[in-house]
Every structure is written in C-alpha cells, then in structure tokens.
Structure 1
Amino acid sequence: MTTSPQTRGTDPQENVTLEDLVDSHFHIWDLNKNYYPWLTDKISQNVAKVTGDYRSIRQDYLIDHFRADIGSLNVVAAVHVQADADPKDSVNETAWLQSVADSTGNGMPQGIVARGDLSAPDAAEIIMAHCQYANMRGMRVEMHPGLNAAPDYDPLKDETWLRNFALLREHGLVFEVRAASPEQTDGLIRLMREHPDTTFIFPHLGLSIWRDEDSVAAWKRNLQVYRELGNVYVKLSGYGLFGLGWTIEEVRPYVLECIDTMGPDRLVCGSNYPVDSMAASYHRIWETHSALLDDAGCDSAERRLILRDNAMNVYRL
C-alpha cells in the first residue's frame, strides 16, 4: 500500500471535534484497478491549469488513506465524485467503488457520482449499467468543451445530449454541473427551468476558475437565480482552486455570498480530497467550513443542515 500524499497545509487543531459531517465531494483511486490518464500518463496541462503542479497526488489514494486523513472527525458518510477514470469504460470505476463500499470501505462511499458522456450514442445503456450498483446517485458531466471535445462544442445545443439528460430524472440521479462557462449561463438556467424535477449541484462554490470582475458579478447574479429556481444546490468546497497558499480571508467573501444567497437549506460541504490535500489538511478544510458558518451567523440547526442533513437528503444517503 502506498503512503498518503503529503499535505502542504498546517493543522493546528487536529484534535478539534465538529458535528456529524457528510463529505459531499471526495475521490479515491487505485492505479492498478482503473486507468486514470491524467494520473498515469503525461501531466495534463488542462488539469494543471486548474490545480497547479499535481505530481504529489499521482499515486494511489485508497479508502484507508481517506479514513486516515479524516482522523478524529466524525464523517458519517461521503460521496465519491468521479475521478476522470478511463472515459472509454466509466462503468468500471463505479463497479470498483461499489466493491470498496461493500468491503474495506464498510459502506463508504455511501454515494457515487459517476462519469458520463451524454452525447454518446449508447449513453442510455451506460447510465443503466451505472445504476445497477446500489450506491449510484448521480452523474458528473462536462458542461464545457472539456478535454476531448471540439473547441466550439456546446452540449446545451446537442440534441442527443439533451435527450439523454432527461434520463437522469427517470433514474433518480442528481446532475453535478462541471465547469459551465459564463457563456453557457443562459442555456444552463433554461435547462434548469425545463427540468424542475432534476437536482443540479454546483461544486466548488459554483465559481470554478473564472475570477475576473465580470465573471464574479455574473456568478453573484446566477446565485440569485439558482435560489429562486429551487432545484439547485451549491457545494462549499474546492478552496484549493484559490491557490496552494489559499487563506480563509481569500475564500471568506465567496463562501459568505453563497450562504447569504442560497440559504442554509441549499448548501452542502465537501473536501475535494485528495486534490485539495496539496493545499491544506483535511482538518483545516473542515475547520474553515465551520469558522465561516460561524462568521455567517449560522445557528446549530443551520449548521446541521449544511454540514450533514442536506447532503443526506439530496444524495439519499
């Protein structure tokens, strides 16, 4: 077994005890069980643009490593979000994750969000194949040209993609939005309005990598729309996207904006481990969540919603 990736963050409060937590965004990978091109082939410049130098995580990160990083925190459930395993066989990752949950994971991951290409002609069959596994809960689908698509590709204008998207509701799956660009905002909101019974979840504050003034202003306007729609959740996660040296002061205004706009009933929390292990310890991430909930004035009931109950409900854990 390989050792857990080294973290660069400090953790002055390792022994602190928080409430029951649900980690709604983590990854594990076994490089011998699945093929992860970005982890085993040459460094992906597309990934590096987002994460920075990620060589330290190009090694196995197994469920035992994750539990070791959790340490004393009371993580009662966790949702695995697909880790860009082989796009030609996305079901293999789901099968492996279910086998982990059924054995060494002792039930974890309790939820699995799988990879899916809704533009594929056999997308319906692939979704069915994922859904044979008990812990399957959603699909994480690229909303931008992605790493392999043509630069001008827009899934929201692809009839095949839209037809297959409708299958998510039939299977009771949530839709994890992946990097919808500012240019897609109107189309994405239209999709949300047209599918009010499908739950949309934005990871990493719904902000991703676009941080210019106009994009941040648009992000704030979009949060208002998401709140009004009723079928959208936002994850407090991905602080590592602010850089390997991120501080609570940097992330505070964005997190408080999410809390203020979305409200405590439409937020969940995640670690983005082990990707964010490059920037902070697991405990530091959750201490940051906790401190910012306090800064926002959340009471004990609101904290429980954000830290646990919302994720339990939306992912049916």
Structure 2
Amino acid sequence: MTDESVDSFLEMLAAERAAAPATLAAYTRDLEHCSEALGAEGETLATASVEALRRWVAEMASDKLARRTIARRISCIRQFYLFLLREGRRADNPASQLDAPSPQQTLPKFLTETEVSALIDASTCSPDNRPAQRRRLLLGRAALELLYSTGLRISELLALRRDMFREDVRMLMVRGKGGRERLVPLSDPARDAVMALLLEDEAKKSLWLFPGRTPLRPITRQGFDKILTDIGSRAGIDPARLSPHVLRHSFATHMLAHGADLRVLQMLLGHADIATTQIYTHVQADRLRAVVESHHPLGKPAVEAGDTDEQSLMQKEASEKKP
C-alpha cells in the first residue's frame, strides 16, 4: 500500500461521506495497525492475502482486544479494500471473507429524572456568585437544558452559533454525523437558559453560543467536561456517571419511558439506522411488565378480595334459585 492509496481513501471518506476529523483519525489508526501487523509477516496492505488478514484478526483476539474494537477495525479494512477494488487498484476484496465478532451489547448508562432535575437545579445562579462563577453556571445551565431536552451530541452542541437563536425560535436545524441535517424542537426552559447566556456573553462578540477562552472558537470538549463535573459535584452525582453522552442517553430513555414513538426518537437523535435507536427499548420492559400485571388476568394474584366477594354472591344467587 502506498501513502497515496490511504490518502485517496481518506479523501473519499471526507468528500463523499462528510467524515469528521475524529473519524478520519480513527480510520488512519486502524489502517496503520493492520499495516504494521502485515509488515511483520513481510506483506503489505496493497498485496495482503486473506490468510494474512485472518492471522491479523486472530492476533487481535489473542491480545484480548474488545470485540467492538476488532469489529470496527475489520469494518475499516473492508471499506478500504472495497475502495481499492472500485478504483481498480485491486482485483478483489480480501477482507470480505473476514468474520467480525458481534459487538457485546451494553445498555446505555443514564440518569434518573430526579438526578437530571438535581443537576439542572445545581446550575442555578445565586446573588453571591462571582462573575466568573456566574458565567460558568449560566453556560452549564444552557448546555444541560439543551442536551437533555434535545438529545444533541456534544459535538453538535458545541457547534451551535449565536445567530441560530432568537426569542421566538422553536426549532433548531442541527447538522449531525455524515452531514445529515435534522430539526429538533427547543423547549421553553432551554430557550430561556440560552437567552440568559447570550445576554451574559454579549460583550464577547463571538459567533458561538458557547465561546471558549478565545471568543473566536467554541469552548473545547475538555473545558465543558470540567464545568459539567463541577455542577455534578454540586448536585451530588458521581462524576464517573456523568458525561454529555449520558445526558443524551437519559433524554432517549426518558422519552421512551413516557411513551415516545421509536421512529420519532430516531429522527430526534439523528440515527441513520433505527437499529441504533432500539438499544433504548430496554426501558420498555418494566412498562410492559406493569401493564401485564395490571390488566392481564394471569398477571394478578389468583384470588383477590373483590373476586372472592363476587364469587360468594354468585354462589348465593345460584343456591336461592334452586327448588
């Protein structure tokens, strides 16, 4: 494999699929990992055989890498060879015969509704707050309200611009993964929190809703994490259980728990495939169990007090009718 092939592949991902820089970096690392493993056997990515690629997969398994990591790397290599095949740089796709392990299904971590309320309450300003602390709380409050009421990804949140918000705005146009755009509704509490932050930051003259130390750029992910951790500590929530993605999971979980349609949730979250959204259906198990216990005859105790009284009355009426 030449650097030109890798560069062309990455350029295709960026141009045709609108891959984010982080995605391109992950693909690069996966390609480098495979190239190094093949190089140890005297092969290259350009001429790799199916057997050599299978040994690479077996080596990753013996190193006890996570199944999700192995599956992701195999997916990357498959796409790379498919690209070479379509470009006429190879006559086959040797990775098409690789067996990828099914990723271990892990349930999303989420907060309870009470914990989310405590988190938002903890971001409320008080008269004795210093100016710097007041702004951190205003920023945290606006971010929390948006994350929880819209289910935005952290990258989507930090990319929001000031000019997207007006006092009468009801919907936000968000650009998500793959450049896909979607509309998400803006709640009244979220809009009020955003307006308070905009007023506080008016003198910064920044293009961004969440400007960083330098108004020309939005706050970094690491900078926001520090604010979130501080608010979480004030709310008594373990920082290990708190992240922007946990709030996204909480949004989805609570929406389903209150009867939201799965297809609507898919649109709100910006999932290309509804199978990704279905991971949140774990919350419906308790609801279904409660419905069965409440309404199905076999879900209730065998004999209830009311049933006993009704049976006694029926037996009495039957005996009175006998000659």
**TM tier relative to shorter chain:** under 0.3
With the length of structure 2 as denominator, give the TM-score of the two structures.
0.20
With the length of structure 1 as denominator, give the TM-score of the two structures.
0.20
Higher-Rg structure is: 2
RCO higher in structure (CA 8 A, sep ≥6):
1
